Amino acid sequence: MTFPYAKTLLACAISVTALLSGCSKDKAATTKSDSLTATSPATGDVSPILERNEKQRLITTFQEQLEKANIKIKVTDIKKTEVPNIYWVNLEGMPSVYATADGKYIIQGDILRLGDTKLHNVSEGLQAQENQKIFEALNTKDLIVYPAQGQTKHIVYVFTDASCPYCHKLHESLPEITAKGIEVRYIAWPRGEQFLPAMESIWCSKDRKAAFESVVKGEAIAPAQCQNPVKSQYLLGLNIGVNGTPAIYSQDGHYLGGYLSADDIVKKLEK
């Protein structure tokens, strides 16, 4: 089995931007782009059939341009943004990108709108909506869940790797985090191929929490194999732009940050 790093879009032209407060993906792996998103689609009174036809035409156009460039990635969705002639393109197994209407140009990076008292990042809204749908589709049986102490006020999703020092630091803070009414749900995200067996062994253990604790402490656990969601969870992370661990998201899909203290998580959730 080959880990899907080699499928990274335009890998030769894109550099890795590691999380400042987390563990970056293993340097031996092929680089991948940052999280790339866009704003909510424009709305209007256009016929739904015409909208579907136009969307399909754009998907076909952009798919053809990718194939001409020998990029073997499937376009799964495309939406208008508030920026004229710029579209938000969903790619299978990859973060989203911006593209021009003719499909000839890809734009990677955030688009900021001027004119308000503060810069407005048009990327956040739609990506959060997509993330929320993804999180809602997850089965908690496929995760490692740490319930809130007392009333559950918030739920956060954390992409984690048991080999990551910042994940260890966050894990040590779990009692403090859950004491603030926050339920923590771990999603497996091995940062390199060499970390995949350990994460699969954790997820295949009878007691995932105990296995994760053991690995965090530097203890060996028995190798285990089973049908497990680790690789699919890794791809899920790629789709939403994860490029390091920990990566913390709110239940409604907003990216909160890498390693954060319990107080900082609460502050971001309450914004």
> Are residues 36 and 241 in contact, defined by beta-carbon separation less than 8 angstroms?
yes
Segment 129-135 mean pLDDT = 92
Residue with more model confidence, 162 or 3: 162
Mean pLDDT calculated for residue range 58-86: 89
By CB atoms closer than 10 A (0-12, 13-18, 19+), residue 31 is middle
Tell whether the model's pLDDT for residue 120 goes beyond 90. Answer: no
One-letter amino acid of 3: F
pLDDT in tens, 231-246: 999 999 998 989 999 9
- Predicted confidence (pLDDT) per residue in 179-228, tens digit: 999 999 999 999 989 999 999 999 999 999 999 999 999 999 999 999 99
CATH of 4-125, one of 2.40.50.140, 3.10.450.70, 3.30.1360.20, 3.30.1780.10: 3.10.450.70
Is the pTM of the predicted complex or chain greater than 0.95?
no
* Mean pLDDT of the chain, nearest integer: 83
134-269 classified as CATH 3.40.30.10: yes
Which positions are catalytic? 161, 164, 167, 191
| Identity of the highest mean pLDDT range in 31-40, 122-131, 142-151 | 142-151
What ranges do the domains of the chain cover? Answer: 4-125, 134-269
b/e map 183-205, b = 16+ CB within 10 Å: bbbbbbbbbeeebbebbbbbbbb
